[in-house]
Amino acid sequence: MRVRNWAASFVLVLAIAIEANASLLGLTFLPPPDITVGFIDVDYNAGTQTFSAQGFAQQMDDGIVPNNPILAPGYNFFLSALVDNTGVLTPGGSFSVTGSVTLNSITYGLVNPLLTGTVAAFGFGDTPANYDILEFVIELTGGDLAIPAYYGVPGTLIGLDFDANYGGAFTGSFAASFDNTGGFGPGFGNGQSDIKPIPEPTALALFGLAALALVRRRSPAN
């Protein structure tokens, strides 16, 4: 009974956080793998309610020193999502990491992307000192690293811990457009992200509650 009550309380707290929108998901992360992404351009168009990010997936920590470089000719991290002007996500969008990486003498990504997926949940916080934290939950759809040895099979939920570092451009509101390139366009972003596994119970709770929040938002008022 205590376990059941604790679980119900946990779900209730998560539901409140998602309904409040201006809140982080509070993700916790498992040990490696961990793909490090840097120099991320971030853009939000308040008119189309589209959030997009592109950057450079640079290396992967598979738990064995040293980290493994990811080889790619240009941008190889892409994420897009529909986020309305109150900060509520419409699940879907797209996520991908391309390039090649050699792990335990096997090279992945020569033909297929390393990871692909859709956006399942989203949280955000506008914190002091120009650090703006975004959290995404991604449902994997494929990729060479979507295997049990690394990120799990398609359908597995993973997390992105995202420091968009807008330099003050993001105020915690999605009512207006913003970007982190200082008006200079692509190539001037300074966002950073880590792509990591998350515990399955937390992932499933967040996935379900994000869908519930969307249904409630779209339901007609009584």
Give the residue-averaged pLDDT of 84-94: 96
pLDDT digits (tens, 9 = 90+) for 111-138: 999 999 999 999 998 665 556 789 999 9
pLDDT band (50, 70, 90) for residue 218: low
* Residue 16 pLDDT level (bands cut at 50, 70, 90): very low
**Res. 104: pLDDT tops 90:** yes
Q: What is the mean pLDDT of the chain?
A: 83
* Threshold 0.85, pTM exceeds: no
Take residue 88 and report the two structure tokens written for it. Answer: 């509520």
To the nearest whole percent, how much of the chain has pLDDT over 90?
60
Q: What is the pLDDT of residue 17?
A: 39
Q: Quick check: 71 and 56 in contact, CB under 8 A?
A: no
101 bridge partner residues: 108
- Reported as type and span, the H/E element at residue 92 is strand 89-97
Look at residue 6 in the predicted model and tell me its pLDDT: 36
pLDDT at 210: 52
Q: How far is CA 214 from CA 83, 87, 119, 122, in A?
A: 11, 11, 13, 12
pLDDT at 207: 53
Mean pLDDT calculated for residue range 190-198: 94
Tokens of 94: 């797209």
Q: For the chain, give the longest Cα–Cα distance.
A: 60
* Alpha carbons 97 and 136: distance in angstroms, whole number: 15
**Strand bridging mode 50-61 / 106-108:** unpaired
Percent of the residues in the chain that have a pLDDT greater than 70, as a whole number: 76
SS3 content of the chain, % helix, strand, coil (to 5): 15, 40, 45
Check residue 185 and give its pLDDT: 79
Distance CA 32, CA 195 (A): 9
Distance CA 208, CA 174 (A): 23
Q: Contact, 91 vs 122, CB < 8 A? A: no
Whole-number Å distance between alpha carbons of 215 and 222 = 14
Q: Residue 204 has which token pair?
A: 């499933």
Q: Which domain holds residue 183?
A: 2-218
In this prediction, residue 188 carries a pLDDT of: 87
- Compute the residue count for the chain: 222
The number of folded domains in the chain is: 1
What does the pLDDT look like over 27-72, one tens digit per residue?
999 999 999 999 999 999 999 999 999 999 999 999 999 999 999 9
DSSP β-bridge partners for residue 179: 43
SS3 124: strand
